[in-house]
Structure 1
């Protein structure tokens, strides 16, 4: 498996095979040409390649600082594990040295790169210092970190926006006004443990909500009226025993994206997240693939997530002749429900 592009993100070349083209992920035989980091052409033509070429993933919700504490806290409730300021993860974050934190995040970004992730939206604890730590961790990575600071307005000013823990934890009016003034992202957790924080989160007019496990009919109507995108993290919700989102009901109301959430409980694999989501819902495979790619890209105003001319050359090539993918009759369904990081042949970032 090779990774092209590196820190500069200005790769040039071609990829041949079955191309999942455009927003519909239409499978066509052909090649993708890219130059200086931009897709220049998607040519439909006969080729001799078993590759499957698709857009690299956008992981729309992560906490990779928690990489220092993978699988810590067995048997703890969600509040005991992650609630600020004294949940286990926050204690472990305070106890870790800066070098330990940076090293752990660097390793996670390396895994994400090999697993075909082009970008991730990070809710970054630790204020300004936390933002600086992930900047250090990502300095040599081809994965783009869209960083939403937390805990203080200054973190938002240094980062790409603000990621709020939840409307029951604090009054985030000041942070919301600041992000709006600066034209930056404001995201907030909502409806993870219960429904009590959903309406106050929506009152903030966020750019997106995360989780919405316990959304009720009123909340679904408000989400639809406001057109607020929702990032789902079903594997994390299951691991933390808070329930599972009604994917189909949310899909009917708004745009959905996928995130892997907390690195304490989940490997940041978008392959696993797609499979879970596909098998929890009745959504077509193309819609789940969009949740893992272009929907997250649109949410963060990134020019990737689609194989089309003019888009950034953030691409993923799978070995369609692998033991796992050989014999797949529906290519998009195979990518969404069956493919794993072991099937990755080449990543262009």
Structure 2
């Protein structure tokens, strides 16, 4: 049995409780309100709701390019770099990124893995010695679902994904698709596929939001990547009002997969509260992937990040949840459990 003490951000509301989290056999046994001298801040570890970890082989390579030139399949810089990457170099680069994510409080990511079966296998290999468990959205032929956890489609304007969607339905695994990143033309076709997750939705309009709500489709937003690629600003407030919204960091070649940076950027530039952003970075991604984490509550997996609340950066913060979202950095991480 283990106890973690400090200010614990409890449940979906992240209510600050001074006390301890009791852990047994990797699960949260209890949350006790007790006196403690600990200044630590205890929060659920992050679930990054959208990544492209293969991009780790070409960090910063696409900065300054348009969306089409940077990442659009099949001939963008990203896809040329991936095609040229040696297997061992790719695995090593992805493993380094996973280690960075682990040190900065992320326990899982929902990754769109390019390169079909070989790509999914490479990510499994990269993750094996780390404590980050990627949820792999595979690509290419539906046979990738023998290895992947679901299917990740590039966009409804790129191809006909009816076969892949049907394969996911037969296997009972999620189908995710990019939509509304360059413009709105692929949003209705994406929704026609009845996806389990939409990614980006930068150009979502009221008619799309109405369908998202009626179909109960969660959305992963990636505001920093949208800014770098100059495609616009997702209507995050409107999306949060309609459905479950999770936060992702998108292409590793454009931005480091730091949920601290993504949270701070989102909280300061969009009309959302700190607790809404923290929920987007933890609970929402876990729920979308069916992971038993993302919230500190009895019975849940003890996937917990502990911050040094007495660090030079966090000391004297009057609102711990707001400080986590708007102020905390990787330097404030004391340890990551689970």
TM-score grouping bracket, smaller chain normalisation = over 0.9
Structure 1 counterpart of 2:292: 303
Q: How many residues align?
A: 338
1:269-327 deviation line (CA, Å, top 9, x unaligned): 00111111111222221111000001110000000001111100100000101111111
Aligned partner (choices 120, 125, 131) of residue 142 of structure 1: 131
Structure 2 counterpart of 1:210: 199
1:58 and 2:42 correspond: no
Aligned partner (choices 79, 82, 98) of residue 90 of structure 1: 79
SS at match of 1:347: strand
Deviates most, 153-162 or 127-136: 153-162
Structure 1 position 164, deviation (Å): 0.3
1:159 and 2:148 correspond: yes
Q: How many angstroms apart in 1 are the aligned matches of 2:325 and 2:201?
A: 22
Q: How many angstroms apart in 2 are the aligned matches of 1:115 and 1:73?
A: 24
Match runs of 1:21-36 below 5 Å: 21-36=10-25
Q: How many angstroms apart in 2 are the aligned matches of 1:100 and 1:284?
A: 40
Structure 2 counterpart of 1:272: 261
1:130 and 2:114 correspond: no
Q: Which runs of 5+ in 1 are unaligned?
A: 1-11
SS at match of 2:275: helix
Aligned partner (choices 199, 209, 233) of residue 244 of structure 1: 233
Structure 1 position 74, deviation (Å): 3.5
Structure 1 position 157, deviation (Å): 2.8
Structure 1 position 249, deviation (Å): 1.1
SS at match of 1:61: strand
Q: How many angstroms apart in 2 are the aligned matches of 1:193 and 1:85?
A: 16
Structure 2 counterpart of 1:325: 314
Contact 1:148–1:161 (CA under 8 A) maintained in structure 2? yes
Structure 2 counterpart of 1:4: none
Structure 1 position 127, deviation (Å): 0.5
1:218-238 deviation line (CA, Å, top 9, x unaligned): 111111111111000000000
The TM-score, its normalising length taken from structure 2, stands at 0.99
Runs of 4+ in 1 over 6 A off after TM superposition: none
Q: How many angstroms apart in 2 are the aligned matches of 1:303 and 1:344?
A: 22
Q: Which runs of 5+ in 2 are unaligned?
A: none
Pair 1:66–1:316, CA change in 2 (3 A): same
Structure 2 counterpart of 1:121: 110
